[in-house]
Structure 1
């Protein structure tokens, strides 16, 4: 266990997984000269929107994951479909992404202050960082200097589903350079927000095509979820607008606080999503979850580390990619 934690910490010394050996690395305060107020502008916009709607916070953290898991952290999840190309945001796993307009607001403010300087990819990373700080006092410095990708294809979106096994989830994370510590830690963000009924229907009524509920699910949790998600409420036509349930029914401070209560739910057998409950089935993940369940400070520190690692996956820097003037379309369009 100690070696895995040490390995995770050592990886932080390399701030970015570069697309090529010649590309310059990310760096702290990359915009100090070119746009000195960039990080302040991002924080102010996120604060303003969060004051109106606290669900902004989990949405922005989730957005970073969905961006970085496909083509790396290049802002490609923000691009609109155009000219016959179906973009990433139209893929099934991305249909429930929210608050993309927050990124639009940040970009507009930055284009006014420093035209053509700050990338959409960096905006996603900084907005997620500020959301984590506002939601749970998780604070970290984020190296910047990412460039924006120019390709976005729904066909390339292969995110691990909420019903995937732990082994398959770990394999997917390993493919982008994240380990069991990062997987267990980043799933902790599921203590916040809500999920659509479609993501739990199989556990409630037809687990693994058995025609019965998931027998490992806590009976009280199942009854509560069935009350919110009755049978046949989810269809292909309404899957992005179906009923929602809290991601963590045991969260003591409500659905918009980033804390370690998620791990207590997992260890009690009361995780809503199958992938979350799967943490308890793996020896290493269960050990990490047990440490986080009684160590809120350990969770916050590791969440910060893992978010930096996530934000460094296959980044574009230097002359690679571009800096989009509008986060929803590449500059050539």
Structure 2
């Protein structure tokens, strides 16, 4: 790092020296700008939180009583001479990129992001800058996502076949972001949808934010026990190996994650089916986002960092890295099938 950099790495997290605040710090600090509410980016213990307005419900639901200031996307404030604004990251509800302007420089810290369409959150907004801090969770050329229509057709077909066979379709997915994206894309006319107790509070938060989701039931709300043999069941993957699953008898179990593109990941997880679905950008998405910023300097965090840095340097960009404590999909999900994903 250089003298005058707008973001540097400290033991507490990524720090803006002229603004005297942190971005997604992993240790308690006085002032924290939060890109989104996943557990590896939004932690308890900070004195003051700043986040996008759309993230308020989820942050309060997950962190409890916090001192929270929110901004509309694109709204600009100035703190200690640093211009700051938040812009959609397309990752989950309320996710934001942080734009910083000071001393003639513009930096953007993207947090986690994806460029693919998503009915459940504001779409990714390219922000022009001099320096772009990018994630690299799926920063290898092998990771290329299929269009959502193909993906959800596959989920609906799998579910329909299981209904005909008289068995439930249990789909493991992260409770915040992934579950709501699945709900937004499935065909709820096939059969009832049951969700785990970890999922439903987030569904309520999404609905309160105006996101349209189909009706869902908790296990305790199911009146017709026959539904246990035909429903689509969304739950954290940890629940699939727990006593909670017994009521679904010979259910088919699947996992929705970007890691399902890895050969052998489904087998190692013991799933009957894997669906390649991620809330992070794939390799083409990462390259598209970086190009759209116009940045000549790129700093890579969490994921396939050496590969991304080497590739970007080969493209003529100045590339380096920050060593962070973000967990990609692993920390987010408590459900890692392989190398870690909230994918």
Q: TM-score, structure 2 length as denominator?
A: 0.29
Q: Which has the higher contact order (CA 8 A, sep 6+)?
A: 1
Q: TM-score, structure 1 length as denominator?
A: 0.30
More helix by share: 1
